[in-house]
Amino acid sequence: MANVREYLRSKEKRKSGNRSINYKEKIRSHKLTIFYRSLLGLLLVGAIVATVFVSWKNRAYSESIMTNVVSVSKVEGASYLSLGTSILTYSKDGANCMDSKGNVLWNRTYEMQNPMVDINGSVVAIGDYNGRTIYVMNETGSMGEITTNMPIRNFCVAENGVVAAILDDADITRINLFDTEGNILVKAETTMDKSGYPIDISLSPNGELLAISYFYVDSGVMKSSVAFHNFGDVGQNQSSDRFVSGYDYQGTIIPFIKFINGNTVFAISDERIMFFTGNQKPVSAAENLLSEEAQGIFYNNQYIGLVFLDTEGESKYRLDVYNTEGKLAGTKKFDIEYKDIIFNNDDIIIYSETEYSVSNIQGVERFRDQFDETVFLFSPTGKTNRFVVMTQDAMNIMEMK
């Protein structure tokens, strides 16, 4: 009898143990099921979001309509440019700024033979080649006026209104920095024997970094160099001219250099495009050799576009688009006799006086149409599908749908 009882107790324990094990396994299995279902749900939602996003980026517009028309008479010889969210009109006799409703925000009169304009964000500097005055304005009005005692050869402006100017002084070329009140912040000088002739200059948005492209001849060999000067705290610990970094290139000329944001600079020579990064001591980040001559250079704070003739014969032009890391982000072939090319978020806008095209960065065309009138400026607004269209007699707001 005792053996029977022991047997039954032992059997009950085994059953109890099995129930415990099965219960734990069921809990674990249930948790895994919930986890995998949640993961599957997240992946499904992610796939839907990605599909919607891609569809939105690649969506094609079907029409464009004019939602507002304001009468504006274009002055003979005047040019239009985008200034922040406003429109800048300038000529030999003066400049003015209008908002998107056609209201004149400010007006500046002057007399210039060859007006030069540099825009950085919503700040513009206007000066005359060989002149001695540079006017600095933003969208709301005048920020200041700079007067030099030497002829102006070139200049650039920062978003805070600081201006760097190349001034001709016989055998010496001077590079001075001015604040908006015309005070000289920094003086520098160069000669062909010392560092070469400065071909182009660019200021960082905060005005602390200056990039200079120099050209010189060394023992009969044509050379170029890119130099960076820091006028902030870091530059105080360097040499007297605040030089912080530089790079030399043989057998080439670098006619164009530009800060596109506070951390990225690019330069173009006849054989390559160079990228530099750093907001204190810029360093070389990437280079891409060019087998063809660039016909045009276009950029915003995210992308740089180079236009080439399409040697394959499929179209007349080819636009290669680079990102700030120096990588090729996309290519677009087109036939439009472009007046300008604009990067608007992730869209490429190519337009002439008679037609326009809107594509994404990968080159997929989303819309193309003809203008009803001759167009002098096609300018993006705060909305991706809305633009300001300047004609001879009107400011139009155009919306694509």
Q: pLDDT by residue (tens digit) across 123-140?
A: 999 999 999 999 999 999
Q: What mean pLDDT comes out for the span 186-203?
A: 88
**pLDDT value at residue 231:** 87
Q: What mean pLDDT comes out for the span 149-171?
A: 94
- Nearby residues of 105 by Cβ (< 8 Å), 6 or more positions away: 86, 96, 97, 98, 99, 139, 140, 141
Is 60 exceeded by the pLDDT of residue 227?
Answer: yes
Q: What mean pLDDT comes out for the span 263-273?
A: 96
**pLDDT value at residue 53:** 42
Q: What angle do CA 112, 119, 86 make, to 5 degrees?
A: 100
**pLDDT value at residue 95:** 97
The confidence band for 41, taking pLDDT boundaries of 50, 70 and 90, is low
Is 60 exceeded by the pLDDT of residue 187?
Answer: yes
Residue bearing the bigger pLDDT, 388 or 14: 388
* 250: phi then psi, degrees, rounded to nearest 5: -95, 145
* 281: phi then psi, degrees, rounded to nearest 5: -130, 85
The count of C-alpha atoms lying within 13 angstroms of the C-alpha of 266, restricted to the half-sphere facing its C-beta, is: 25
**pLDDT value at residue 12:** 52
pLDDT tens-digit series, residues 78-114: 999 999 999 999 999 999 999 988 999 999 999 999 9
Is 70 exceeded by the pLDDT of residue 358?
Answer: yes
**The two three-digit tokens of residue 246, written as one number:** 């530089």
Q: Average pLDDT of the chain?
A: 88
The confidence band for 395, taking pLDDT boundaries of 50, 70 and 90, is very high
Is 70 exceeded by the pLDDT of residue 332?
Answer: yes
Quote the pTM value: 0.83
**pLDDT value at residue 10:** 57
**pLDDT value at residue 382:** 79
User: How far apart (Å, rounded) are the C-alpha atoms in residues 249 and 96?
Assistant: 41
Evaluate whether 273 touches 306 at the Cβ level (below 8 Å): yes
Q: What is the DSSP string of 323-374?
A: ETTS-EEEEEEE----SEEEEETTEEEEE-SSEEEEEETT--EEEEEE-SS-
- Nearby residues of 144 by Cβ (< 8 Å), 6 or more positions away: 136, 161, 179, 180, 181, 182
User: How far apart (Å, rounded) are the C-alpha atoms in residues 127 and 400?
Assistant: 37
The confidence band for 62, taking pLDDT boundaries of 50, 70 and 90, is confident
Cα 9 to chain centroid distance, Å, stands at: 82
The count of C-alpha atoms lying within 13 angstroms of the C-alpha of 143, restricted to the half-sphere facing its C-beta, is: 22
Evaluate whether 369 touches 64 at the Cβ level (below 8 Å): yes
Closest listed residue to residue 307, CA positions, set 353, 276, 342: 342
**pLDDT value at residue 232:** 83
Say if residue 41 is exposed, middle or buried (CB neighbours under 10 Å; 0-12, 13-18, 19+).
exposed
The confidence band for 385, taking pLDDT boundaries of 50, 70 and 90, is confident
